Amino acid sequence: MRRVAVASCIGTTIEFYDFFIYGTAAALVFPTVFFPALGATAGTVASFATFAVAFIARPVGAVLFGHFGDRIGRKKTLVSTLLLMGISTLLIGLLPGAGTIGVAAPIILVLLRFAQGFAVGGEWAGATLLTAEYAPPGKRGLYAMFPQLGPAIAFALSSGTFLFTGMALGDTNQAFLDYGWRIPFLFSIVLVGIGLYMRLAIEETPVFRAESSAADIASAQDPAQKRTLPFLDAVRFQYKEILLAAGALAIMFAFFYMGTAYLTSYATKTLGFDRPFVLLVGIASSVVFGISIILSALYSDRVGRRRVIMVSCAFSVLWALALFPLLDTGSPVAFVVGMMVTLAIFGIAYGPCGALLPEMFATRYRYTGAGLGYNLAGVLGGAIPPLLAAPLAASFGGIAIGIMLAAFGLLSLVCTAAMVETRDRAL
CB 141 within 8 A of CB 254: no
Q: Is the pLDDT of residue 299 over 60?
A: yes
Q: What is the mean pLDDT of residues 159-180?
A: 75
Half-sphere exposure of 340 (CA within 13 A, CB side): 14
CB 294 within 8 A of CB 178: no
Distance CA 266, CA 275 (A): 11
% of the chain exceeding 70 in pLDDT? 95
Q: What is the mean pLDDT of residues 400-407?
A: 91
Express each pLDDT in 326-336 by its tens digit.
988 989 999 99
CB 27 within 8 A of CB 264: yes
Report DSSP letters for 213-228, one per residue: HHHHHHHHH-TT--PP
Express each pLDDT in 267-287 by its tens digit.
887 888 888 898 899 899 999
Q: What is the mean pLDDT of residues 328-352?
A: 93
- The residue among 147 and 261 whose pLDDT is bigger is 147
pLDDT of 347 reads 94
CB 29 within 8 A of CB 176: yes
pLDDT of 304 reads 93
What is the pTM for the complete model shown?
Answer: 0.85
CB 155 within 8 A of CB 20: yes
pLDDT-based confidence at residue 217 (cuts at 50, 70, 90): low
Q: What is the mean pLDDT of residues 25-51?
A: 76
Task: Tell me phi and psi for residue 150, to 5 degrees.
Answer: -55, -50
Q: What is the mean pLDDT of residues 362-378?
A: 91
Number of CB atoms found within 10 A of residue 111's CB: 13
CB 334 within 8 A of CB 170: no
pLDDT of 176 reads 74
Specify the DSSP class assigned to residue 271: S
pLDDT of 274 reads 86
Region of poorest pLDDT, from 83-87, 122-126, 178-182: 178-182
Distance CA 253, CA 375 (A): 9
pLDDT of 221 reads 60
Average pLDDT, the chain: 86
